[in-house]
C-alpha cells in the first residue's frame, strides 16, 4: 500500500497519470522535449534564415528589395552602423549560406542522414531539388551538398533526412572551446593567457597515444609530463582508444587543423595514469591506487585536477564505497575530482531511466558531470541533455540490522557539459587502429593507423567530464587559491539551466566557462575563514554570459544533497562549506524530520529549496523553475521503489552492477544520432 500512496503523491506533483488513468497514452504526451527533438530538423541559424526568405516571399518582395531590407537590418545591428553590405563567403569553392546569398542560389549545406536512409533515395531527392552531393564524411551519415536554399525545407521534410545545417566557416578555434565560452576568456587577465599553464591534470583512463599532435609536447603545449601503468600490462599507450580522446578534450593542443580540435586547457600538464586495459576494462583497486598516487605526488606535479571518465553502477552508499573514499581523500587534499555520471540514462527501448549515477560520481565531494548535446552548433539555444546521460538520484545504500536498505538518494549530476559526438585524438599502437576505432569504423574521422594526427568521434559522459576538468584548470590558473568546493560552487552557480530538463537530468545546468572564469577571477586570493565574510574583490557582475552571440542567464544556485542553495550571497560571502575537509552537501541535512540548512554552514541571505526543479523556460534561474516535487524530498525514509514512475521515466533496479566489481569506461561511444561537431574542412 505504501508504494501506491507514494506513486499517487509524486504523480500529482509531476502532472503524471495516477492509478486508473491510461499511462500508455499519457507517457508520450509527457515527453514534449523528446517529441520536439524528433521534429527539429533544421539548425537554428538556418531556420532563421529560411524564415526571412519566407517573409520576403509572402510580402511579394523582389530580390533587390529583399537585399535592401536585409542591408537595413544588418546596419541596425552593427555597433558602428557602417551599413556595409553583408559579405558573401566562398571557401574552398563552397558558397556559405547567409543573408548575402539569394535563396535561389546554390550554396553548401551539411546533411545528417537517418540511420536507415537509402543512399539511392536521398541522392535522387537532392538531384530533383537542383542540388548535388559534394562529399560524404566517412561512415558517419554526414553528407555535404550544394543546393538552392529555397529547396532546403522540402529536403528536410524527407524521412531520410535527420538534420540540416548550413556549411559554416571555421575559424582558428575549436567547437568545444567556442560553445563552452572558453575561447572568449583566454585574455581575460592582462598579461596572462588562460590555457591551464602550470596546472597538473591527471587523467586516470586507458592510457594515451603519447606521440599524438594533440597530446605531445610542443612549443605551445606542455603535453604529457608523466605516464604510469596500473594494469600490470607494462603499457602506457592507449590500445583501447578512450584515454587519448578524453585527454584531448581537456587539454588538446590548438596547433592541429587551425585549432579545430583544441581542448579547454590547451597548455596544462597532463599526467597519464593507465588503469583500463585494451578492452576498456579495469578494477577498482587499480583506480584507487592511481588516486592515491595523485595525492602522494600532488606537490611534484602540482596536481590540482583529476579526471575519472570511468565508473561502475553504484551499490554501496558513498559512505562505504571504496572508490568514493579514495576520491574523497583526494578532494580533502585539495584536488578537484571530476567524474563522469555514467551512460545509463535510458533502457534498450530508449525509455528514460532515473537512478543510474555511477560510482565514484555518487560521492557528494566529487564533481559529477552529465552529457549535453550541442547538435553541432556553437550557439547554446538548441543544446539538450543527451538521452543516454545518467540521471539521479544516487542509489547507493546501507543496510541496517533489520535488513532495511537506506538509500543515499542524492541529487546528481552537478552539471552537464558537451559530450555528444565530439572529435578528439585517435590512438594507434604498433601501426594498428585502437580497439574502439577498429570495432566501430564510423567513429573514424581522418587518417590511417600510425598517424599522429588521426582524430575520431566519441560520445558519452566520459567525453563531457574532461571538458569540465579542463575548465577547472583554467579556474585554478586564474585563481590558485580556490578550494575544490569553491570550484564546484562557482561552476554550478554560473551554469546555464537548459529548458525542459530537471535537476536530476542536468544538475545546475550546462557548463559556462565564461561565467566561471570571470567569477574565479573576482575571488580573493587569500580566502576568508569566517562565514559571511566578503569573498570577492569587486561587485558581483551581471549574472549572465554571452556565448556565440547569445546571452544566457546563470543558474544562481548550488546543488547540495536533496535540494539546492540559492541567492547572490553564495558568491559574495564566504560559506563554511567552501573550506577543505567538508562537502557542499554539509550545508543541508535532515533536522527534526525536515530538510533544512545546517546552522553555521552558510551565511545570511542564502536560501534552501528541498526538492527538484524542472526548468521549463529558457534562461531562468534554478529558483525560478517550476518545482517538480514540492514537499517531496529524496531523503532517506521516502519510498522510491523500483518501477515507480519518476517524471517521464522509471527508476533503475537497485544493485545492478556492470560486471560486479569491474569498472568500464563511461562512454556511449556512438552517441545520439543527431547533428554533431563537424570535422575540419
CATH number at residue 153: 3.30.70.80
Q: pLDDT tens digits for 470-512?
A: 999 999 999 999 999 999 999 999 999 999 898 999 999 999 9
In this prediction, residue 96 carries a pLDDT of 78
Same domain, 213 and 319: yes
Same domain, 232 and 341: yes
Span 23-47, mean pLDDT? 43
Same domain, 120 and 249: no
In CATH, what number is assigned to the domain containing residue 456?
A: 3.40.50.200
Low-confidence winner among 37-51, 254-268, 545-559 (lowest mean pLDDT): 37-51
In this prediction, residue 107 carries a pLDDT of 87
pLDDT at 144 over 60: yes
Same domain, 121 and 213: no
Q: Does the residue 674 lie in any domain?
A: no
In sequence order, what are the beta bridge partners of 646? 649
In this prediction, residue 102 carries a pLDDT of 85
Query: Which set of grid coordinates corresponds to residue 508?
Result: 545546475
H/E run at residue 137: strand 132-137
Q: pLDDT tens digits for 618-652?
A: 778 888 865 444 334 555 433 333 333 344 455 55
Span 231-253, mean pLDDT? 94
Q: pLDDT tens digits for 594-626?
A: 888 999 999 999 999 888 888 877 778 888 865
Number of domains in the chain: 3
Grouping H, G, I as helix, E, B as strand and the rest as coil, residue 247 is helix
Same domain, 128 and 251: no
pLDDT at 235 over 50: yes
Sign of CA dihedral 74, 80, 81, 84: negative
pLDDT at 137 over 60: no
Q: Does the residue 340 lie in any domain?
A: yes
The whole-angstrom separation of Cα 666 and Cα 657 is 13
Span 85-110, mean pLDDT? 76
Domain end call among 133, 166, 199: 166
Same domain, 428 and 509: yes
% of the chain beyond a pLDDT of 70: 79
Q: How much is the pTM?
A: 0.75
The whole-angstrom separation of Cα 96 and Cα 165 is 11
Tell me if 517 sits within 8 A of 475, measured CB to CB: yes
pLDDT at 413 over 80: yes
In this prediction, residue 176 carries a pLDDT of 74
Q: pLDDT tens digits for 277-334?
A: 898 888 777 888 899 899 999 999 999 999 999 987 777 788 878 788 889 999 999 9
Q: Does the residue 613 lie in any domain?
A: yes
Q: pLDDT tens digits for 48-77?
A: 788 888 887 777 776 666 666 666 654 444
Domain span at 21? 2-30
Residue with the bigger pLDDT between 550 and 67: it is 550
Tell me if 473 sits within 8 A of 379, measured CB to CB: no
Sign of CA dihedral 613, 617, 621, 625: negative
Same domain, 151 and 243: no
pLDDT at 18 over 80: no
Same domain, 82 and 212: no
Same domain, 23 and 54: no
Domain end call among 120, 140, 166: 166
In this prediction, residue 643 carries a pLDDT of 32
The whole-angstrom separation of Cα 430 and Cα 414 is 40
Span 107-120, mean pLDDT? 77
Span 456-467, mean pLDDT? 93
Grouping H, G, I as helix, E, B as strand and the rest as coil, residue 551 is strand
Plot region of 612 (φ>0 → left; ψ -120 to 50 → alpha; else → beta): beta
Span 581-597, mean pLDDT? 88
The residue length of the chain stands at 681
pLDDT at 220 over 90: no
Sheet hosting strand 645-646, strand order edge to edge: 352-354, 649-651, 645-646
Q: Does the residue 38 lie in any domain?
A: no
Q: Does the residue 84 lie in any domain?
A: yes
Low-confidence winner among 120-129, 163-172, 178-187, 598-607 (lowest mean pLDDT): 163-172
Maximum distance among all Cα pairs of the chain, rounded to whole angstroms: 82
In this prediction, residue 654 carries a pLDDT of 45
Using pLDDT thresholds of 50, 70 and 90, give the confidence band for residue 673: confident
Q: Does the residue 35 lie in any domain?
A: no
Domain end call among 146, 166, 186: 166
Low-confidence winner among 4-8, 237-241, 571-575 (lowest mean pLDDT): 4-8
Q: Does the residue 678 lie in any domain?
A: no
Same domain, 148 and 14: no
Indicate the average pLDDT of the chain: 80
Low-confidence winner among 107-121, 215-229, 239-253, 519-533 (lowest mean pLDDT): 107-121
Same domain, 304 and 353: yes
Q: Does the residue 561 lie in any domain?
A: yes
Same domain, 435 and 569: yes
Contacts of 484 (CB under 8 A, 6+ apart): 331, 334, 335, 336, 337, 365, 367, 580
In this prediction, residue 174 carries a pLDDT of 54
In this prediction, residue 157 carries a pLDDT of 87
Amino acid at each position: 500500500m505504501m508504494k501506491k500512496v507514494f506513486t499517487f503523491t509524486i504523480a500529482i506533483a509531476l502532472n503524471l497519470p495516477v492509478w486508473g488513468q491510461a499511462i500508455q497514452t499519457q507517457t508520450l504526451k509527457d515527453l514534449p522535449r523528446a517529441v520536439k527533438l524528433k521534429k527539429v530538423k533544421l539548425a537554428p541559424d538556418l531556420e532563421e534564415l529560411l524564415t526571412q526568405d519566407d517573409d520576403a516571399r509572402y510580402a511579394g518582395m523582389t530580390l533587390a528589395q529583399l537585399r535592401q531590407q536585409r542591408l537595413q537590418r544588418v546596419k541596425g545591428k552593427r555597433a558602428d552602423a557602417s551599413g556595409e553590405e553583408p559579405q558573401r563567403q566562398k571557401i574552398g569553392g563552397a558558397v556559405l549560406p547567409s543573408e548575402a546569398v539569394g535563396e535561389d542560389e546554390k550554396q553548401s549545406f551539411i546533411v545528417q542522414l537517418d540511420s536507415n536512409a537509402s543512399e539511392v533515395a536521398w541522392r535522387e531527392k537532392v538531384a530533383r531539388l537542383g542540388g548535388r552531393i559534394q562529399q560524404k564524411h566517412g561512415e558517419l551519415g554526414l553528407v555535404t551538398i550544394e543546393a538552392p536554399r529555397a529547396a532546403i525545407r522540402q529536403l528536410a521534410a524527407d524521412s531520410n533526412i535527420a538534420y540540416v545545417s548550413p556549411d559554416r566557416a571555421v575559424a582558428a578555434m575549436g567547437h568545444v572551446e567556442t560553445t563552452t565560452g572558453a575561447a572568449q576568456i583566454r585574455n581575460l587577465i592582462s598579461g596572462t593567457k588562460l590555457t591551464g599553464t602550470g596546472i597538473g591534470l591527471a587523467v586516470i583512463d586507458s592510457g594515451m597515444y603519447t606521440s599524438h599532435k594533440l597530446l605531445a609536447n610542443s612549443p605551445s603545449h606542455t603535453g604529457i609530463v608523466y605516464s604510469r601503468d596500473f594494469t600490470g600490462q607494462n603499457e602506457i599507450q592507449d590500445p583501447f582508444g578512450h584515454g587519448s580522446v578524453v585527454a584531448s578534450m581537456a587539454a588538446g593542443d590548438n596547433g592541429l587543423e587551425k585549432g579545430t580540435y583544441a581542448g579547454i586547457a590547451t597548455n596544462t600538464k597532463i599526467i597519464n595514469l593507465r588503469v583500463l586495459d585494451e578492452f576498456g576494462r579495469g578494477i577498482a583497486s587499480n583506480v584507487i591506487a592511481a588516486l592515491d598516487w595523485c595525492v602522494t605526488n600532488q606537490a611534484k606535479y602540482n596536481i590540482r585536477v583529476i579526471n575519472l571518465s570511468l565508473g561502475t553502477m553504484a551499490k554501496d552508499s558513498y559512505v562505504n564505497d571504496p572508490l568514493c573514499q579514495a576520491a574523497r581523500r583526494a578532494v580533502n587534499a585539495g584536488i578537484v575530482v571530476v567524474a563522469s555520471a555514467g551512460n545509463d540514462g535510458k533502457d534498450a527501448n530508449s525509455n528514460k531511466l532515473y537512478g543510474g549515477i555511477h560510482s565514484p560520481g555518487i560521492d557528494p565531494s566529487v564533481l559529477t558531470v552529465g552529457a549535453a548535446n550541442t547538435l553541432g552548433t556553437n550557439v547554446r539555444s538548441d543544446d539538450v541533455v543527451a538521452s543516454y546521460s545518467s540521471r539521479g538520484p544516487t542509489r547507493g545504500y546501507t543496510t541496517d540490522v533489520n535488513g532495511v536498505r537506506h538509500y543515499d538518494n542524492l541529487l546528481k549530476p552537478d552539471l552537464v557539459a558537451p559530450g555528444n559526438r565530439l572529435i578528439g585524438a585517435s590512438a594507434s599502437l604498433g601501426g594498428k587502429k585502437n580497439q574502439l576505432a577498429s570495432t566501430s569504423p564510423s567513429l573514424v574521422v581522418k587518417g590511417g593507423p600510425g598517424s599522429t594526427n588521426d582524430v575520431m568521434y566519441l560520445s558519452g559522459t566520459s567525453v563531457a567530464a574532461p571538458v569540465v576538468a579542463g575548465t577547472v584548470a583554467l579556474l585554478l590558473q586564474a585563481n590558485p587559491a580556490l578550494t575544490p568546493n569553491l570550484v564546484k560552487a562557482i561552476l554550478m552557480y554560473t551554469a546555464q539551466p537548459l529548458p525542459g530538463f530537471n535537476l536530476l537530468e542536468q544538475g545546475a545546468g550546462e557548463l559556462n566557462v565564461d561565467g566561471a572564469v570571470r567569477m574565479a577571477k573576482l575571488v580573493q586570493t587569500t580566502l576568508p575563514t569566517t562565514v559571511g565574510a566578503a569573498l570577492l574583490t569587486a561587485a558581483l557582475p551581471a549574472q549572465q554570459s554571452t556565448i556565440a552571440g547569445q546571452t544566457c542567464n546563470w543558474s544562481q544556485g548550488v546543488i547540495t544533497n536533496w535540494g539546492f542553495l540559492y541567492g547572490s550571497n553564495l558568491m559574495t560571502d564566504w560559506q563554511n562549506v567552501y573550506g577543505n575537509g567538508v562537502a557542499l552537501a554539509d550545508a543541508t541535512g535532515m533536522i527534526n524530520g525536515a530538510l533544512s540548512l545546517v546552522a553555521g554552514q552558510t551565511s545570511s541571505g542564502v536560501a534552501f529549496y528541498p526538492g527538484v526543479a524542472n526548468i521549463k523556460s529558457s534562461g531562468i534561474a534554478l529558483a525560478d523553475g517550476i518545482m517538480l516535487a514540492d514537499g517531496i524530498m529524496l531523503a532517506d525514509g521516502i519510498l522510491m521503489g523500483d518501477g515507480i514512475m519518476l517524471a517521464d521515466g522509471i527508476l533503475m533496479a537497485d544493485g545492478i552492477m556492470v560486471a560486479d566489481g569491474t569498472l568500464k569506461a563511461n562512454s556511449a561511444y556512438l552517441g545520439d544520432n543527431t547533428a554533431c561537431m563537424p570535422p575540419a574542412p
